[in-house]
Amino acid sequence: DGGITQSPKYLFRKEGQNVTLSCEQNLNHDAMYWYRQDPGQGLRLIYYSQIVNDFQKGDIAEGYSVSREKKESFPLTVTSAQKNPTAFYLCASKGGVQETQYFGPGTRLLVL
Amino acid sequence: RKEVEQDPGPFNVPEGATVAFNCTYSNSASQSFFWYRQDCRKEPKLLMSVYSSGNEDGRFTAQLNRASQYISLLIRDSKLSDSATYLCVVNIVTGTASKLTFGTGTRLQVTL
């Protein structure tokens, strides 16, 4: 099956800890995106990558880092500098005739 | 002013009712438009694109008014399974990059 996978489904972070969220796609899409969703707010763009080995900051990149070493993979690291990391994190890739974005199932990050 | 504004609802309607959601956007450079559906604690899924001429997909009709910067979604003959949050999304292309901006969503609850 083609699609986007994210792991883990739930992730717990301790104070001062860096954690990495996985995102993999087998849709052969060039562009990939990371968003966070908080209650009562729209999705906010963290980072995006339009092609392998290139990525750009989104609207709320502080406290996050990414890499794009392979077309299929776009992991997001939530660093200890991110003071309010509790959120629902969504990865997306873009492709198809209409250039629409397709989302993975998301990872819920909680701070202990 | 938010870039994409939606009435958060909730809209509580009986099964079989017709319900309409509205959305306004502030950036006149917005080039493409979408409605996504998001179920509770799940990822957003593309419902339909919105074209200038208006478009229909079964019970769902989307309209775009560029002059008023206004998008609508009409759902006829509501089903219980239509209960979800509906996200209005606009795409702005700047150079070679495109960015999706999401509304906060309108929640629909269809009841017996």
DSSP A61-101: -TTEEE--SBTTB--EEE-TT-S---EEEEEEEEETTTTEE
- What per-residue confidence (pLDDT) applies to B76? 98
User: Which neighbouring-strand residues pair with B94?
Assistant: B97
Length of chain A: 112
Q: What is the reported pLDDT for A100?
A: 84
Residue A89: the pLDDT is 98
pLDDT (0 to 100) of residue A2: 66
- The residue type found at A81 is A
Residue B1: the pLDDT is 73
> E strands of B1-112, at which residues?
4-6, 11-14, 19-25, 30-38, 44-50, 55-57, 60-65, 70-75, 84-94, 97-102, 106-111
- Are the Cβ atoms of B44 and A56 closer than 8 angstroms? no
**For range B2-11, the mean pLDDT:** 90
Beta carbons of A14 and A37 less than 8 angstroms apart: no
Q: For chain B, what percent of residues have pLDDT higher than 90? A: 76
Partner-chain residue, chosen from B42, B45, B102, that has the shortest CB–CB distance to A42: B102
What pLDDT is stored for residue A1 in this prediction? 57
CB of A50 less than 8 A from some CB of B: yes
Residues of chain A with pLDDT under 70: 1-2, 97-98
Quick one: pLDDT band at residue B95, thresholds 50, 70, 90? confident
pLDDT the model gives residue B30: 84
Average pLDDT for B38-64: 94
For testing contact with chain B, the best of A50, A103, A107, A109 (most B CBs within 10 A): A103
Stretch B47-54: mean pLDDT, rounded? 91
* φ/ψ of residue B49, rounded to 5: -80, 160
What pLDDT is stored for residue B92 in this prediction?
Answer: 85
H-helix or E-strand containing B15? Answer: none
Which of A30, A89, A100 is the best mutation test for B, with the most CBs of B within 10 A?
A100
Using 50, 70 and 90 to split pLDDT, how confident is the model at B40? very high
Whether the ω angle into residue A8 lies within 30 degrees of 0, i.e. cis, is yes
Kindly state the tokens that stand for A7: 């792991």
